[in-house]
């Protein structure tokens, strides 16, 4: 739901609550009791859930991920002028939406799936960013899952009929079962490669 | 008003806490930053939860007092 709509709902809720706070005697009447129940229970719970949904949706934005200083180089790597850089090639050719570039390929990241343990990892990131010392370079907690590639490439002609993918019947089965990683050495192994960004040439959309 | 006085104070406190929680939530919604999410959960969520619980407690204690009379 758009942020403006949530803000309007919050403003309406505040207005109702102000009536209860200013004149609590209105709750003596049946209508007042209903108003109090709406204003002090139903609407705040609903507004809180809408706010939570809004925050979770916003955290999928590229700008959200890149707002942490340590992620800056990963953002820069999307602009490398070299099609062998997988994230850059996807970003620059609109294979991933620009405003959700990180989330599109990292759908399993902390906040979205993974249970309580993953949520604590998310809190650890906040701690590391503002109070601690973040690992540099950052590392994935688990090996990159082929599911992130296959949710788009599965069924695509370039993937299904790719010469290397079909060189041996076992290769395709291993890719689809996540036994052989798409980003294995010798395959699509040029990912963000932030250690070598200093030597990279960058693409600018304005060119 | 005398009938509402004990519950009125609780309703006021509850309302003020929920208003504060909603205001913090509104601020976090216009601040696009990871800390906004933490403020939303940690401050807004806490204020609203306490306010709502206080309201529910006011309802329960008020009805208990009425039935005791």
ipTM (interface pTM)? 0.88
C-alpha R_g of chain B: 16
Chain A residue with CA closest to B48: the answer is A44
Hey, what are B65's tokens? Answer: 């007092």
Token pair, residue A143, equals: 């090996």
Residues A68/A129, Cβ–Cβ less than 8 Å: yes
Q: What is the DSSP string of A82-94?
A: -TTSHHHHHHHTT
pLDDT, tens digit, for every residue of A113-165?
A: 656 676 777 778 888 888 888 877 788 888 899 999 999 999 999 999 999 99
pLDDT at A84 over 60: yes
SS3 of residue B29 by DSSP: helix
Q: Do A27 and B4 make contact, defined as CB atoms within 8 angstroms?
A: yes
- β-partners of residue A80 are A202
Point out the least confidently predicted range of A84-93, A173-182, B25-34, B46-55.
B25-34
Model confidence pLDDT, tens digit, residues A16-42: 999 999 999 998 899 999 999 999 999
* pLDDT score recorded for residue B32: 81
User: In chain B, which residues touch A (CB < 8 A)?
Assistant: 1, 3-4, 7-8, 11-12, 14-16, 18-19, 21-23, 25-26, 28-30, 32-38, 40, 44-45, 48, 51-52, 55-56
Cβ count near A16 (within 10 Å): 18
Under DSSP, the state recorded for B42 is I
Mean pLDDT of chain A: 90
Closest partner residue to A44 (CB to CB) among B1, B35, B48 is B48
What is the spatial distance between Cα A34 and Cα A37, in angstroms, rounded to a whole number? 5
Residue B37, pLDDT score: 87
Output the CA torsion sign for A193, A196, A198, A201.
negative
Mutate to test the interface with A, among B14, B56, B66 (most CBs of A within 10 A): B14
Q: What is the pLDDT of residues B1-51, one digit of tens each?
A: 455 567 899 999 999 999 999 999 999 999 888 889 889 999 999 999 999
The count of C-alpha atoms lying within 13 angstroms of the C-alpha of B46, restricted to the half-sphere facing its C-beta, is: 6
| Residue carrying structure tokens 């099609």 | A83
Q: Which of A181, A117, A190 is nearest to A149 (CA)?
A: A181
Both tokens assigned to B15? 């309302």
* Cα A110 versus chain centre, distance: 9
What are the backbone dihedrals phi and psi of residue A80, each rounded to the nearest 5 degrees, phi first?
-65, 135
């Amino acid at each position: 739901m758009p942020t403006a709509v949530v803000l309007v709902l919050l403003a309406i809720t505040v207005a109702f609550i102000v009536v209860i706070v200013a004149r609590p005697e209105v709750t003596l009447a049946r209508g007042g009791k209903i108003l109090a129940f709406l204003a002090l229970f139903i609407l705040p719970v609903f507004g809180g859930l809408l706010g939570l949904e809004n925050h979770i949706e916003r955290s999928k934005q590229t700008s959200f991920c890149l707002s942490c200083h340590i992620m800056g180089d990963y953002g820069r790597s999307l602009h490398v002028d070299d099609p062998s850089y997988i994230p850059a090639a996807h970003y620059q050719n609109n294979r991933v939406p620009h405003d959700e570039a990180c989330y599109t390929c990292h759908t399993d990241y902390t906040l979205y799936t993974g249970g309580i343990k993953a949520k604590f990892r998310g809190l650890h990131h906040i701690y590391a960013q503002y109070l601690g010392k973040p690992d540099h370079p950052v590392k994935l907690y688990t090996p990159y899952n082929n599911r992130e590639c296959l949710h788009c490439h599965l069924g695509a002609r370039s993937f299904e009929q790719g010469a290397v993918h079909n060189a041996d019947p076992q290769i395709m089965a291993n890719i689809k079962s996540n036994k052989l990683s798409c980003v294995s050495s010798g395959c699509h192994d040029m990912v963000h490669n932030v250690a070598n960004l200093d030597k990279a040439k960058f693409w600018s959309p304005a060119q | 008003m005398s009938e509402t006085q004990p519950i009125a104070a609780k309703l006021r406190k509850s309302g003020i806490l929920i208003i504060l929680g909603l205001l913090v939530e509104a601020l976090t919604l216009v601040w696009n930053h990871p800390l906004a999410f933490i403020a939303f959960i940690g401050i807004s969520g806490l204020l609203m939860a306490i306010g709502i619980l206080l309201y529910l407690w006011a309802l329960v204690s008020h009805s208990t007092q009425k039935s005791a009379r």
